[in-house]
Amino acid sequence: MNGIFYTNAVYDYQTIEVSDGHKLYVEQSGNPEGIPLIYMHGGPGAGLGKNYQWPFNPLKYRVIGVDQRGCGRSTPFGDTLNNTTELLIQDFEFIRKHFNIDKWIVFGGSWGSTLALLYAINNPRAVISMVLRGVFLARKEDFDWFLLPTGCAAQIYPEAYEEFSSHISDKSSSDIVCKQFISLFENPDNNLSFPALKAWFNWEGYISRLIAPNVMMSDLSTDKHIKSLALLECHYLLNKCFVAENYILDNIDKLYDIPCHIVHGRYDMVCKLEAAYSIKKALPHATLKVVNNAGHSMSETGIANELTRIMNEMFESGARF
């Protein structure tokens, strides 16, 4: 990555019990007196990555990072019971009140963008502004794009899709794909379940960058990370992310008064650029930067530069809270 990227030291971390026996790992970094910002990670199930705070000037922002239910350092790990989108939104609101924060910036990429939009729809008065990267709207067309042989991802990366889908026999619908993978994930024989977990994990990793990696992403990740992302992502997609079809666009009027900044890679194979464009059309006041030399990953240079620029300009323009 080029440009100015920041190093944020964690100054506070704790485990917060929310509901249904779930305990969330929550950490804070940056300036305790800075503008509050909630970082909503992707996946579902990706957890907080290393150095995820690099877009945020530590002198200006108070960054709150949360490992969502079932992943990262939250417990119970890998648990799909009582793990729904509505409960994740409630968790974020619980954390806001726990820290006595009046309003905060909502920052999310990929699945995190879905959560950011849904959180803002449900809690518009608690949001200073939204920063979205790689928008995912959780519609049938978004699931099909990612999971089916007719989807754009499979059409652009047929060899990677062939490896991904070699573990299943029926690819006629997104639901059927997910059901077969869940069956494999839950198989008590680890010689069957873990290869399927890796296949799911590597499929997303392979198509996440404009230039496909030379190594399998599972070789660079822990078994724990592989399991949580594959299992929880499949759980959510099987349940249509617990969101009614087109719910976000149907409720976009709740966001008319919230500043919104969107960054999306032109060649994003995980999340359709059309989704970001649809948000921009529905919210004329929003800004949309399409990065022509990027795919899905937050770490790609063009996307990284734009996110850092937005966060610096937002502070300089006087974000209010």
**Active site residue ranges:** 110, 268, 296
Cα 6 from chain centre: 21
Distance CA 261, CA 249 (A): 16
